[in-house]
Structure 1
Amino acid sequence: MRIALTTLICFSFLTAFAQGTKYHTIDKRAEKYYEEARQYLKRSQFREAMEPLQDALDKDPNFIEVWLAMGSANYRLGRDSLTLACFHKALEIDPDYSKSMYAYFLIGEIYFKQSNYEESKAYLAHYLSREDTDLKKRIQAEVMVDNCQFALKAMTSPFDYHIEILPDFANSFKLQYFPVLSVDQQKIYFTRREGLSVKNDEDIFYSDKLKDGSWSVPQSISDNINSEFNEGAASLSADGRMLVFTSCDGRRGYGSCDIYVSYKEGNNWSVPENMGPMINSAAWEAQPSLSADGRTIYFVSNKQGGMGRKDIWSSSKNKKGKWEPAINLGKKINTNKDEISPFIHANGESIYFSSNGRIGLGGLDIYMSEKTDSVWSEALNLGYPLNDAHDQVSLYISSDGEKGYYTIEKKMRHDFESKLYSFDLPDSFQVSNKSSYLRGTVSDASSGAPLQADIKLYKLNNEKYFSELSSDKKTGTYTVVLSESNHYGLYVSATGYLFKDFSFSFEDIDQFDENLLDIKLEPVKVGAITVLGNIFFDFNEYSLQRKSMSELKEVYDFLRQNPNVKVEISGHTDNIGSAQYNMELSTKRAKSVYDFLLFKRIRPEQITYVGYGQDKPIAPNDNLENQSKNRRIEFKISSISSDTK
């Protein structure tokens, strides 16, 4: 916006000067110097114009047109302090001179950039008091006045962010930006650049958090990822095994900048692949943010069909694992200006992003929005002092919603810096549903060998899975994210093995030491048993509750994938009530599961059912917790045949 605005204003200055036949001077030599300077200004040779402009002022220090021209030239050269000095001198000579109106506008804009909101508002108000101003600039001035009023109010009620620059090696390069952390906050990944020149290479680096809280010497993420071309703005899945990033002008792609993906097996990253035409286009795509399970991506593009210059878009994988066409996030997020650097929280429901198209404190401010039933809320400015007149970009929020990391970019007189900061997030801007993680390994129960297993996480009130991932092929490691206010079913399966299921809520994470759950899968063999822990009935009832659907789907999928396996579905109860009643209830419950599978066209010869009542407890019936363990449905392999017909 500022570049375009500057060009328009300076052109207006020059046009106004050109139309005049008389100047505010009687010194002919001063006039001659000014005419010489105007020729340079017409060719945008602002430095060259300075000498004749100064010569003109030496002849006539009150030559107002020269002060205005010199202010305009300094503005184009980025010399804010000199611009202010020149314009203030012009206004001192004649505050009501009609051609000085642009000076009021530019002074107001510079003060706004410098966080001098009171002065900015005053000069812009004077500009707006004139009726002969340009309509577009009036609109821009009105927006800046609104921003000033917002900023002044925000600064009188600052939030307690406790912002700190990251220490040690985390800020050891000339420029570093786009921080992203592992879900346990023990690794930080960022884009580093050694200098301001376009010749300086952008690469993705990472540091490990040390026991004393400092960061280790940064290392390149991988020779397969970093190259002679630019790589940056990375995002990782929660398990740290899927990386998406931006690469420009080097790799074969669809446009000037495209988004690429790399996968980690063991300790090695794969050669990056272009994410394809559902994500990338002939336009500019960059700054991706990946959901915790790696199945949804948010990114920035300036392609056609958006609402502004740069918009935030998203795409998700379908059931076949293919990316769907990207969709625009709509007017609750995007404006007619720029929205960049999106970050989707681990809960999948909260998004943070930077924008210069909304009321704020200047430049790019950070905003947040939360999704309910697929609808995003109105974006909320994160307030002062996190936001100020500088550009705030590339935010990361920890899974628990309490800690944040971001970049502050500062333009200085002869330099530019970009540093990484951390902060404590005030309650007002924390996510509604915090998240935590569960990690571990999946292995063969007999041999102990690591397994690549499919891991599905369901919200138990919804038969569609919430997220899906797989354990590492070489190490068997996995990480899943759980969020508040949800009850989850976790299902782990691998070809040739009997699946296992678990039931968790966010609060249950505390029962695991260091959030660790190692899972051992039994090979498919006669006698192998798993408890169907996510089958639910009302008290003393045998009708299946709807939240049993995710478990029933997993049972169905196993039977369809293993047609040579015959299973027994058995019902069990605690010892409350008579033995006869418990036997009847357990049999009816087992039959409910059996009937559902028949309804889904599982062959009747593949399944049987039986009730054991209270005869086969797996825990003493001496407390409520143990009694709940004994009330269960089991799934046992009774035979395996070579005939799959």
Structure 2
Amino acid sequence: MKRSLVFLPFILIFSSLVFGQSSRSVKFFEKGEKAVAERNFGEAKAYLEKSIAEDSTNGNSYYLLAYLNILDKDYEKARQLYRELMKCCSKDAKFMLAHLSLAEYEWSLGNYKKAIGFANSFLAFNPGRKKYREIRRANKILASSNYALENIDNVLPYSYESIGEKVNVKAQQYFPAITADGKELYFTARDERDNENIFKTSYFNAEWSSPEEVEELNTQFNEGTCSISADGTIMIFTSCESTRDRAGYGSCDLFITQKVGDKWSKPKNLGPNINSRDWESQPSLSADGRTLYFVSDRRGGQGKKDIWVSYLNEHNQWTLAENLGETINTADDDLSPYIHSNGHTLYFSSEGHLGFGGLDLFKSEKASGSWSTPQNLGYPINDHSDQVSLVVSADGSKGYFSKEHIDGNQRTSKIVSFDLPKEIIPQSLSTYLKGVVYDAITKKPIKAQLELKLLDRIETESKVLSDGETGKYLIVLNQNEEYALYISKPGYLFQSLTFDMHNAGVEGVTLDVFLQRVDQGTNITLSNIFFNSNEYVLQKKSNVELNKVKDFLVLNPSLNVEISGHTDNIGSQEYNLDLSQKRAEAVTNYLIKNGIDASRLKAVGYGEKKPIADNNTELGRKENRRIEFEIL
């Protein structure tokens, strides 16, 4: 929180003097008042100091001199003058705003009991309706201070440390953004007289490397406050100078760039559905880069700066930004959103929600399309100063933010990390699957689409592309979900994988994928076809896979395919043969009912004749119980 005082508008009320004041003190005050009217502030200060020296009970001189020090941003001096004013004139309603200024100042230092005292003494003057803003401010200070006193003893385990002196080499480092595997971190940095630029550091051999400028994005102007997708291939950042190469709509705009290989593409303005003539900044991308949260002070919000959201639709266009609503946004500033890689835990900073003063960090969970009441992250993560730009690792173990240090007029900051207390971790944690997509024949890396679907709700959880040069991909998987993952590319047979994340850990998994071209004899296992034991009725969650097969056949109308059923070796051969045939027919019947010509489909049951794993183990038997798809 800035250690400022309530700004007192200069009103010529001082001439109504208090009876009994020293005549010399009054004359010096009048000269000071005249100098202020002539805007000779230095001269005015000298006269007012002489006035106080002549009479230490001249409240007018204290009040006007404090005002002049506020203009000079010498808040400590103004505070001292207000304290002296309280000694002589605390009951004078003319000086009621001095009480509010002292309440503000003590609140900004975390002196909550003193802040309560001054806020109450201000309200005791029963200020009129014209001072509704000041009344609101006093009540906010009271509510916050009482909340702080009630909760400050609930101390969370919390200790932060710098992520390394190799990284924190500039005067200021802030707004970090980290990939889901925790290997790359981007941030904004600057020295005192430099412009903002974007930097990157990599985690290797248990330490963060010396940062490198992202040269293809940085210019002679300011670039910063970036966000990246979980795989580190999509970045959205802020640029505040409109140029021929980066034309903007307003004071600060959001731009998008994509990384292919090791290079970032030319940034593009996100357009009028997101950017406006006002200020847009502090983006936060979802794991797959298809949902964007950001901050704007545009009209139509709940208050000052609000958090907004936009979605990338099926035409790869960003939808018109929507305000996140009154559950998240308040009449004051709501800033620095961070959407966790699980897609439904939002961390953000707010002045408006009840907290310890200044900007506090909060957490909200999204369920059934609605955000929960924000939870204050608690003390000492939050205190009387400002807390902003928190990001949380995919596995929920670490938090990263910028720790600021103010020494007089010098402001420095460095990126730090801390172990996340269990009280504030996301409701569901994430892990990741990463690897390379190859052509199965040439073994060359290829660009392919990876689509992750929730089996129980038949929804697309995320959709990403592997790198066009390296074939690398990374996709986030959330705990306590069951997924179908499809890797596809035109001209290739899609690959189907299944992941049951119930009771799963958070360690990342590396898996390379080899896609086969659409040729006769090519086959895949349909990993997301489900039957109950010894039954041939399709489970509902099989619909995701079945619809994928149907869509593939619609896109490739000349193909005929065999759907084959396979079992383990438990039971008689005759029984297994019959069961596998009925299961294959269940699949073909679904496809026929959904518009695929029966002449293109052949259902065959092989029973236990074609095992692909050892039937002597449960895992092997599970692999042998399968449905396959082969091009004829």
TM range (shorter): over 0.9
Tell me by how many angstroms 1:212 deviates. 4.6
Which amino acid in the other structure matches residue 299 of structure 1? F
- Which is further off, 503-512 or 172-181? 503-512
Other-structure match for 1:164: 161
* Structure 1: unaligned runs, 5 residues or longer: 639-645
Other-structure match for 1:403: 398
Which amino acid in the other structure matches residue 348 of structure 2? F
TM-score w.r.t. structure 1 length?
0.93
Number of matched residues? Answer: 627
CA distance in 2, matches of 1:429, 1:287: 22
Tell me by how many angstroms 1:341 deviates. 0.7
| Contact 1:24 1:65 (C-alpha < 8 Å) held by counterparts | no
Other-structure match for 2:345: 350
CA distance in 2, matches of 1:50, 1:582: 99
Alignment of 1:468-617 (within 5 A): 468-506=463-501, 515-617=509-611
Query: Secondary structure in 1 aligned to 2:409?
Result: coil
- Which is further off, 580-589 or 490-499? 580-589
Alignment of 1:71-470 (within 5 A): 71-132=66-127, 134-195=131-192, 200-213=194-207, 215-221=208-214, 223-250=215-242, 251-470=246-465
The reply to whether residue 10 of structure 1 matches residue 9 of structure 2 is yes
Tell me by how many angstroms 1:144 deviates. 0.2
Query: Secondary structure in 1 aligned to 2:560?
Result: strand
| Contact 1:438 1:509 (C-alpha < 8 Å) held by counterparts | no
| Contact 2:184 2:232 (C-alpha < 8 Å) held by counterparts | no
CA distance in 2, matches of 1:397, 1:45: 52
Q: Deviations over 1:496-518 (max 9, x none)?
A: 21111111133687698x62101
**Amino-acid identity (%):** 39
* Structure 2: unaligned runs, 5 residues or longer: none
Tell me by how many angstroms 1:25 deviates. 5.7
Tell me by how many angstroms 1:132 deviates. 4.0
Q: Deviations over 1:399-450 (max 9, x none)?
A: 0112101123454432223332211111110101000111000001111100
| Cα pair distance change 1:464/1:157, threshold 3 Å | closer
| Cα pair distance change 1:511/1:272, threshold 3 Å | closer
Tell me by how many angstroms 1:280 deviates. 1.3
Tell me by how many angstroms 1:77 deviates. 2.7
CA distance in 2, matches of 1:465, 1:396: 25
| Cα pair distance change 1:417/1:23, threshold 3 Å | farther
Q: Deviations over 1:113-153 (max 9, x none)?
A: 11111111122122222324634322211110111111122
Q: Deviations over 1:526-578 (max 9, x none)?
A: 21110001011122222221211221122122212222222111111122223
CA distance in 2, matches of 1:583, 1:285: 63
Query: Secondary structure in 1 aligned to 2:25?
Result: helix
| Contact 2:180 2:432 (C-alpha < 8 Å) held by counterparts | yes
| Cα pair distance change 1:60/1:508, threshold 3 Å | closer
Query: Secondary structure in 2 aligned to 1:168?
Result: coil
| Contact 2:524 2:628 (C-alpha < 8 Å) held by counterparts | yes
Query: Secondary structure in 2 aligned to 1:334?
Result: coil
CA distance in 1, matches of 2:163, 2:12: 49
More helix by share: 1
Which amino acid in the other structure matches residue 6 of structure 1? V
| Cα pair distance change 1:607/1:53, threshold 3 Å | same
Tell me by how many angstroms 1:257 deviates. 1.0
Q: Deviations over 1:209-235 (max 9, x none)?
A: 34253x3222111x3211122111111
Query: Secondary structure in 1 aligned to 2:145?
Result: helix
CA distance in 1, matches of 2:478, 2:505: 13
| Cα pair distance change 1:45/1:435, threshold 3 Å | farther
Query: Secondary structure in 2 aligned to 1:591?
Result: helix
Question: C-alpha root-mean-square deviation of aligned residues, in Å?
Answer: 2.2
| Cα pair distance change 1:377/1:42, threshold 3 Å | farther
| Cα pair distance change 1:569/1:132, threshold 3 Å | closer
Query: Secondary structure in 2 aligned to 1:526?
Result: coil
Other-structure match for 1:643: none
Other-structure match for 1:641: none
Which amino acid in the other structure matches residue 227 of structure 2? S
Query: Secondary structure in 2 aligned to 1:6?
Result: coil
| Contact 1:394 1:407 (C-alpha < 8 Å) held by counterparts | yes
| Contact 2:48 2:61 (C-alpha < 8 Å) held by counterparts | yes
Which amino acid in the other structure matches residue 625 of structure 1? L
CA distance in 2, matches of 1:46, 1:552: 79
CA distance in 2, matches of 1:217, 1:382: 31
Tell me by how many angstroms 1:588 deviates. 1.6
- Which is further off, 200-209 or 163-172? 163-172
